[in-house]
Amino acid sequence: MEKKIKEEFDVVIVGSGIAGSVLAKTLTNAGKNVLLLEAGLQAGMAFDPEAAYQNYQYYLETFYKASAKVPNSPYPNIKDAQSIDVLDIEPITQCNSPSTKGYLVQAGPLPFGSDCLRGPGGTTLHWLGSTPRMLPNDFKMKTLYGQGVDWPISYDDLMPYYEMAENEIGVSGDVRDQVGPDMGIQNYGKDYVFPMKEIPQSYLDQVCIEKTQNLTVKLHGKEYTITCISTPQGRNSIPNPAYKFAGTYWNKKAQKLELAKNDEEYEPVGAIWDPNTGHRCEGNASCVPICPVQAKYNALKTLRKSDPKRLKIITQAVASKIYTDETTNAITGIEYKKYKYENSTVYDTAIARGKIYVLAASAIENAKILLTSGIANSSDQVGRNLMDHLVMLTWGLLPEKAYPYRGPGSTTNIPTFRDGEFRKEHAAWISPIDNWGWSWPVFSPGSDVSSAVSSGMFGKKLREHLNDVLPRQLLLHFECEQTPDPNNRVTIDPQYKDQLDNYRPVIHYDASEYMKKSFEAAKKVSDQIFAANGVEDYTAYSVANDPDYVTYKGQGYNFWGAGHIVGTHRMGTAKENSVVDKNQRTWDHDNLYLVGCGNMPTLGTSNPTLTMTALSFKAAEAILKQLEN
Amino acid sequence: MNNHLVSSRTFLTISTYLTGYNEVELLGTGMLETYFNVFLEKFSPKTLHYFFAEVDEILLESAGDEDKINAAIAARLIPDSAYDGIAKNIILVWYTGNWGSDVISTQSYQQGLMWDAAEAHPPGAKQPGYGSWANLPIRIPTK
C-alpha cells in the first residue's frame, strides 16, 4: 500500500490553518517548493471562484439548518479527520470516565471545553476575529509574578512580527485606544497604525460605557479604575490612509522578513470567490461560526496568495506518523493516509518528503502526532500544559434597551484586569462586552420564546414581552488566563483510535485554585459593574447549565471554553524544559518545526491567534535562513 | 382535512392572535404555506379538524372583539391539554422557525419572528450594513 511521492520538497507542512497558510505563502513567495498536507475535504480547498462560492454557500446553508449553531456547525465533521464538537462535552462522572462521546477522550476531572476545526482554512473559518496583542509583562510571568514560566523571547523581540501578523490578517482598530495596564502607545511605536480604522463600537457598548468608564471598583482591599476600549479585530473596515505597508517579503540579502512599504492605500482583502465582496463588515452578527461575506479574515485568504507554481496541496491527507533517521535524528518523512471520499474507510498510505518539516495541525493534533511517532519529546513536555481561557460569563438585564444581537460578537473590552500584582494570587482576565445577548450561556432568544410560551403568554403580550426583554440583555465575559500545568495534557492510548487507525486525543484537564480564585474575583467585579449600570443579575451557575462547573469557598461557578487551545509543545530556553526553541524548531530534530498555539509557554489575556501568527512569521524566517545556509 | 384552503386562511387568522403579528407581517415572511403544511403533517387530521372548528367558533362568537378573542384563546386553545398543544406550537414555529429543535428550512431560520421582536436580525442573514450596530435599530412603523 505504501507509496512514495516522487518529488522532494523544500518544506512539507501539515495543516492549512493560519499558521500553515502563513508558512506556505511566505516560503513559496521566497522561492521555496512546498507540499501542504490537509486532512479535510478537497471541496473546502477550492480556489476557482465558482467552486469556492458553491462550497461556502453549502457551509452557510448548513449553518442555517443547524439546530445548535455552535462554532463548528457549518462545517463538515468527517470520520476520517474528526473535529472536536462542543456539543459532545458532558460532565465526567464515576460511571462516565473517560467520556468518549465525541472525538476527544475526556479523562477529566473536568471536560476540556473548547473546539477547533480540522479542515481547509482551519479554525479561522469560525474564529471571532479579536486580535489584541499580548502585553510585555505576559512574557515574564515567572519573573514578575512567580507563575508559569517566562517566554524565551520578549515582547520587543516579537514586535516586528506582530506588525506582519496585523498586516496579514488585516486588523481594524485604533492604536491610540489601546491603553490599559502595561498597555499604551509604547507597545506599538510612535507612528504605528493598524491597516484599517476601528470597527465602530456597538450601541450596546456605548450604553455600558456611559456608566462603566472610569468606574472605581474594589477588589481584595484595592481600588481599580475600570476602562472600556475598542477591540482590534481581523475584519474589514475603512482603510486607514496613514497605513503604509503592503505585505511581508523575504529580504534575501538581509536574511530576514520585512514589511514592504506601500505608497498606495491599503486595500481590504475580499472573499476568496470574489475580491470585491466583503470589503466591509456588513453586520451579519454571525462571525462565529461563519461570516457570509468573508469580511472576516480566514486563512484561505492567505493561502491563496501563495505562489501556485511552488505549492502542491494534497487534501484528504491525514498525517499519521513521522519517521526519523536513527543515527542523525533528522526527520526523513511524514506518513499520511489519503482517504478516498468523505467518511470512507478506504485509504492509501504515502510518505511525504522534504528538507524541512512543519507541523501546523493545531495544538492538540501536533502533540498527538509527536506522541504517536515517539519523537521531539526528550523534555517530556509534549502534550503537557494544555491551556485555554476559562471564560466566566455573567448576564443580566439593563434598565434600558441597548439592542444586542447586532454587529460583530464583541467590539469593546475592559482591559483593567489584564495585568497587575494580583497575578501572584489569581489569574488575570480580559473582559469583552458581548454584543450577542444571552445566546452563549442560555441559548437566547429561542429559550426566551419557549419559556414565555410555556408560561401561557401569547399574542401582543408575548411580542411586547420579548421586545422588552431581548433588547435589554447584557452579557459580559471574563476570559481568565489559565496557567501551565503539566497534568493538563494530551496523551494517547491504543484503546482509542479513529476509523483510519489514527489515535484520538486523550485529555486530562482541571481548573486550579489559581483559576477558581479568579472566578471569585471576576464575579465581584461583575457585581460592581452590574450595580453601577442598574443591571438586574440573571447569572446562574450549575452543572446542568454547563459541564464545566467548579466550587470555590462554597460558591459554584461555571466556565466555558474560549476556543483558545494553547501550550501542548511549549517553546522554552533549553532542551530540558521545552519542546521547541525560540524559532519554534524542535530541540531534538534540526529539520522539524512546530507552529501554532501549542508553542505558547503561557497564554496571556489576549485571544492567541494574532500572537501565534506573529510567531509563524518568525518560524518562516528561521526556516528560510536554514534553507539558505 | 376536507378543505385546506379554508383552513390555511383560518391558520393565518389565528396565527395573528397567537403571535401578535398582523397578517401583512406574517405573509411577509413567505412561510405561511410551509408552516401550515408542517401542522398538517405533524398532527392527526381529527385533532386539526377539532382545533380549526374551535378557532372558527371563537372568531365567530367574539365578532372581532380582541379582548374576547384573547380570553377565549387563553381558556380554550393555550392549555397543553387542548388539541395536543397545536396553539403553542403555532407560536413557536412562527417565532423560531423550528419544529422542536429541528430547523424547518434555511428560510424558516431566516424568517423567525424572534429576531424581529428583538429589533435585530437572524445572525448570518438580512445584514443591516457596515456600522449599523453603532446606532439605534431602524424600525419601520407597522400601523
Report whether pLDDT(B2) > 90: no
Q: Read off the pLDDT of residues A353-364 as tens digits, 9 standing for 90 and up.
A: 999 999 999 999
Residues A481 and A139: their CA atoms lie apart, in Å, by 13
The whole-number average pLDDT for the span A174-200 is 97
Residue in the structure block whose three cell numbers are 474507510: A345
The whole-number average pLDDT for the span A84-103 is 95
Residues A370 and A376: their CA atoms lie apart, in Å, by 7
Give the residue from A363, A483, A413, A429 showing the smallest Cα distance to A123: A363
The whole-number average pLDDT for the span B35-61 is 96
Q: What letter would DSSP give residue A557?
A: E
Q: How many CA atoms lie within 13 A of A178 on its CB side?
A: 26
Res A167: pLDDT: 98
Q: Read off the pLDDT of residues A399-429 as tens digits, 9 standing for 90 and up.
A: 999 999 999 999 999 999 999 999 999 999 9
Flag if A406 and B120 touch (Cβ within 8 Å): yes
Length of chain A: 629
Res B4: pLDDT: 55
Chain B: closest CA distance from residue A396 (Å): 16
**In the beta sheet, which residues pair with residue A551?**
A556
Domain ranges of chain A: 3-194+232-388+482-511+559-628
- Parallel, antiparallel or unpaired: strands A311-314 and A256-261: unpaired
Residue to mutate among A449, A464, A469, with most B CBs inside 10 A, is A449
Q: Which amino acid is at B124?
A: G
Is the CB of residue A542 less than 8 Å from the CB of residue A509? Answer: no
Residues B10 and B8: their CA atoms lie apart, in Å, by 5
Res A190: pLDDT: 86
Q: Using 50, 70 and 90 to split pLDDT, how confident is the model at B142?
A: low
Flag if B131 and A200 touch (Cβ within 8 Å): yes
Please enumerate in sequence order all residues whose Cβ is within 8 A of that of A360, keeping only pairs 6 or more positions apart, or say none: A13, A14, A15, A16, A17, A19, A20, A23, A366, A594, A595, A596, A616
Q: Which of B113, B134, B136 lies at the smallest CB-CB distance from A200? A: B134
Report whether pLDDT(A2) > 50: no
Q: Read off the pLDDT of residues A517-545 as tens digits, 9 standing for 90 and up.
A: 999 999 999 999 999 999 999 999 999 99
Flag if B109 and A64 touch (Cβ within 8 Å): yes
Residue to mutate among A293, A458, A468, A470, with most B CBs inside 10 A, is A458
Please enumerate in sequence order all residues whose Cβ is within 8 A of that of A317, keeping only pairs 6 or more positions apart, or say none: A37, A38, A39, A336, A337, A338, A350
Is the CB of residue A589 less than 8 Å from the CB of residue A559? Answer: no
Q: What letter would DSSP give residue A271?
A: B
Chain B: closest CA distance from residue A237 (Å): 8
Give the residue from A473, A190, A155 showing the smallest Cα distance to B120: A473
From chain B, the residues in CB contact with A458 under 8 A are: 17-20, 73-74, 78, 87-88, 91
Report whether pLDDT(A104) > 90: yes
Report whether pLDDT(A1) > 50: no
Residues B117 and A460: their CA atoms lie apart, in Å, by 11
Chain B: closest CA distance from residue A627 (Å): 44
Is the CB of residue B26 less than 8 Å from the CB of residue B32? Answer: yes
Query: Is residue A246 packed enough to be buried (19+ CB in 10 Å), middle (13-18) or exposed (0-12)?
Result: middle
Chain B: closest CA distance from residue A274 (Å): 18
Q: What percent of chain A has pLDDT over 90?
A: 98
The whole-number average pLDDT for the span B55-82 is 97
Flag if A459 and B73 touch (Cβ within 8 Å): yes
Q: Using 50, 70 and 90 to split pLDDT, how confident is the model at A75?
A: very high
From chain A, the residues in CB contact with B130 under 8 A are: 237, 280-283
The x, y and z cell numbers of residue A84, run together, are 472536536
Report whether pLDDT(A46) > 70: yes
Residues in chain B whose beta carbon is closer than 8 A to a beta carbon of chain A? 17-21, 70, 73-74, 78, 87-88, 91-92, 95-96, 98, 101-103, 105-106, 109-110, 113-115, 117-121, 123-125, 127-137
Q: Read off the pLDDT of residues A144-160 as tens digits, 9 standing for 90 and up.
A: 999 999 999 999 999 99
The whole-number average pLDDT for the span A607-624 is 98
Residue A17 φ then ψ, to 5°: -70, -165
Residues B55 and A276: their CA atoms lie apart, in Å, by 52
Q: Read off the pLDDT of residues A192-234 as tens digits, 9 standing for 90 and up.
A: 999 999 999 999 999 999 999 999 999 999 999 999 999 999 9
Flag if B78 and A458 touch (Cβ within 8 Å): yes
The whole-number average pLDDT for the span B115-136 is 98
Flag if B127 and A445 touch (Cβ within 8 Å): no
Q: Using 50, 70 and 90 to split pLDDT, how confident is the model at B6?
A: low
From chain A, the residues in CB contact with B132 under 8 A are: 283, 406-407
The whole-number average pLDDT for the span A513-517 is 98
Report whether pLDDT(A386) > 50: yes
Residues A78 and A547: their CA atoms lie apart, in Å, by 25
Size of interface A-B (CB pairs under 8 A): 152
Res B1: pLDDT: 44
Q: Is the peptide bond before A109 cis (omega within 30 degrees of 0)?
A: yes
Q: Considering the domain A3-194+232-388+482-511+559-628 in this protein, what is its CATH number?
A: 3.50.50.60
Flag if A470 and B118 touch (Cβ within 8 Å): yes
Q: Using 50, 70 and 90 to split pLDDT, how confident is the model at A103?
A: very high
Res A189: pLDDT: 86
Q: Using 50, 70 and 90 to split pLDDT, how confident is the model at B141?
A: low
